[in-house]
Amino acid sequence: MDARDPIIELRQVSKSFGRRIVLDRIDLKIQRGTSTVIIGRSGTGKSVLLRHIVGLHRPDHGEVYFEGRRIDRLSERQLVPIRRQISFVFQLNALFDSMTVAENVAFPMTETGNGRADPRQIAALARRSLQMVGMAGFEDKRPADLSGGEKKRVALARAIAMDPPPKVILYDEPTAGLDPQRGDVITRLIRQLQREVHVTSVVVTHDMKLAAQAGDRVLLLWNGRFIGDGTPEELLSSRDEHVRRFVDGLAEPEDLATLSQ
Amino acid sequence: MQPSNLALRWLDQLGAHTLGVLGAFGDFCLFGASTISYAPVDIATRRGWGRLLPQCYAIGTRSVPVVMLTGMFVGMVLIVQGWEQFDAAGLSSRLGAVVNISVTSELGPVLAGVMLAGRVGGALTAELGTMNVTEQLLALRSMGADPIRFLATPRFLACLILTPLLTVYADLTGALGAWVIYSGVYGGDSEAFWRYTADIVENWDLITGLVKALFFGGAIGLIGCYAGFHCRPGAEGVGRACTEAFVSSFIVILMLDFFLNFVNNGVYKALYGTRSLF
């Protein structure tokens, strides 16, 4: 496969839940080593789109490719080798409550690995991952003992603690629920991980600051389709009315109309 | 609205509901088959035992007091209920045997099952439901791990293995509780209590009680896990799933008990003929 070929590709992907169309013939190509940010209002299907990339959702129509291989028709078992190359940082962190921080971070290597890894190597890699996100010394704590920002950082550590490292990290609202300062730490970490681990990042957010700082490319999802696509600067200077309103944080006229009713 | 339209609408709703129920049942069967399919491999591997043993502690060890108490009070109550009638008929010496056969073959497994459906089934659903709504099940899948194998199979196995063992505790404390009331409160003959019990309660009764408990345990584990895996979002979704899991487990235990009694009686009759307690 050519390095210039997209690592992730969605072709005409549509997804509905009941009568609600969430994704409407989406086309998306993501190049290796880039950081792509998908922005959009809450409930517009950003997370659904992200989950298609790792096979957690199947499209009603359309095709999903990873490194040129079509994955949307693979069984759960066939998806395992694909999923071991992609890390997912969930909006609610999804840390396992019954495990310590160290066990959570080591989980992808101990429980889902091929069983050949040396436990000492796994522990060392978990420690290094925690150091990278500034969480060294928290190994024996439980997720319940951590703050929101600390949980997010542990989730990031778990995402990178793979041997070999992941090719893609998917971030679902990584700064949601965090104060601006903690959000800034996470934004910097995403950038830092991309530099140090050379990973392809796909970030879903409605945080414009994160989009501007973490993205090489920003797309705006609107009513199931992309209506904006460019560098952060291009999107920030867009004249499209919906893009402008989203960037400026202004409500849509129809939303205001429902308020006045 | 025209009567014919109303009837069509009613039929439409009935059809949709029936399809929904059948679909959910089919989904449950697939879930159960998948859970059971991993069990032999998990039992044979160290990693599988690593997941199973903590569940055995949570489901089995921590249920011992409540199951022992249940068994003991059942035995005691049956003596209180039966003493006057048996004594009036001059059959008080047989009361212990009647109570013990009831406890070992019927009430021990059923009430232990019901207690476990409440204590264990509810806890399983709440734990897995919370993991579901906090994206932990999705996280497992995204890491290439099957949540059914990692979460449902060890819990199912723990319920399956430990419900019969807990039933033994219920049987023992039931017999002891009955004896304490029989001899201590009503002054019954202890020697007659144990002699008739030994004469009348057969290995068959013990074994059929434990076989029932095995089925009840499996049902509690599968229903509890399925409800947790399929609960709706939010605290209300988890709460509702817990209630539904308990009610479903309770009903399934009673239904299984009914059908297993039919099978047991048929098999006993074919092997040993009809038996009498007197």
Summarize pLDDT for B159-177 with one digit per residue, the tens: 999 999 999 999 999 999 9
Q: Is the dihedral of CA B15, B21, B26, B30 positive or negative?
A: positive
**Mean pLDDT of all residues in B50-75:** 93
* pLDDT, position A18: 86
Query: In a mutagenesis test of the B interface, which of A66, A92, A168 is the best target, namely the one with the most B β-carbons within 10 Å?
Result: A92
**Mean pLDDT of all residues in A47-58:** 94
Find which of A107-116, A131-140, A227-236, B190-199 is predicted with most confidence, using mean pLDDT.
B190-199
A191 to A175, A177, A187, B234: CA distances (angstroms): 13, 20, 6, 33
* pLDDT, position B46: 87
Please judge whether B143 and A81 are an interchain contact, meaning their C-beta atoms are less than 8 angstroms apart.
no
Nearest in space to A36 (alpha carbons), one of A217, A200, A187, A167: A217
Residues B101, B277 contacting (CB under 8 angstroms): yes
DSSP assignments along A79-138, one per residue:
HHHHHTTEEEE-TT----TTS-HHHHHHHHHHTSS-S-S-HHHHHHHHHHHHHHTT-TT-
* pLDDT, position A148: 86
Tell me if the bond preceding A165 is cis, omega within 30° of 0.
no
Pick A111's closest partner by Cβ from B131, B141, B145. B145
Find which of A126-135, A155-164, B53-62 is predicted with most confidence, using mean pLDDT.
B53-62
pLDDT tens readout for residues B225-257: 999 999 998 889 999 999 999 999 999 999 999
pLDDT tens readout for residues A158-202: 998 888 889 999 999 988 877 888 788 888 888 888 888 789 999
- Give B-chain residues touching A115 at CB under 8 angstroms: 47
pTM of the model: 0.86
* pLDDT, position A101: 95
- Give A-chain residues touching B131 at CB under 8 angstroms: 96-97
Q: Is the pLDDT of residue A3 over 60?
A: yes
Q: Which of A93-97, A99-103, A252-256 has the lowest mean pLDDT?
A: A252-256
* pLDDT, position B18: 93
**Mean pLDDT of all residues in B55-70:** 93
Residue A48's pLDDT band, with cuts at 50, 70 and 90, is very high
Q: Is the pLDDT of residue A16 over 70?
A: yes
* pLDDT, position B132: 94
A27–B contact, CB cutoff 8 A: no
Q: Is the pLDDT of residue B69 over 90?
A: yes
B139–A contact, CB cutoff 8 A: yes
Say if residue A106 is exposed, middle or buried (CB neighbours under 10 Å; 0-12, 13-18, 19+): buried
Q: Predicted ipTM?
A: 0.87
A96–B contact, CB cutoff 8 A: yes
Cα distance between residue B258 and residue B110, in whole Å: 11
Mean per-residue pLDDT of chain B: 92
Q: Is the pLDDT of residue B33 over 90?
A: yes
Q: Is the pLDDT of residue A260 over 80?
A: no
Q: Is the pLDDT of residue A115 over 60?
A: no
Q: Which of A28-37, A222-231, A250-259 has the lowest mean pLDDT?
A: A250-259
DSSP assignments along B166-178, one per residue:
HHHHHHHHHHHHH
Beta strand A168-172 pairing with A200-205: parallel
Our CA-based measurement puts residue A56 at a distance from the nearest CA of chain B, in whole angstroms, of 7
Residue B2's pLDDT band, with cuts at 50, 70 and 90, is low
- Give B-chain residues touching A108 at CB under 8 angstroms: 143
- Give A-chain residues touching B144 at CB under 8 angstroms: 79-81, 83-84, 112
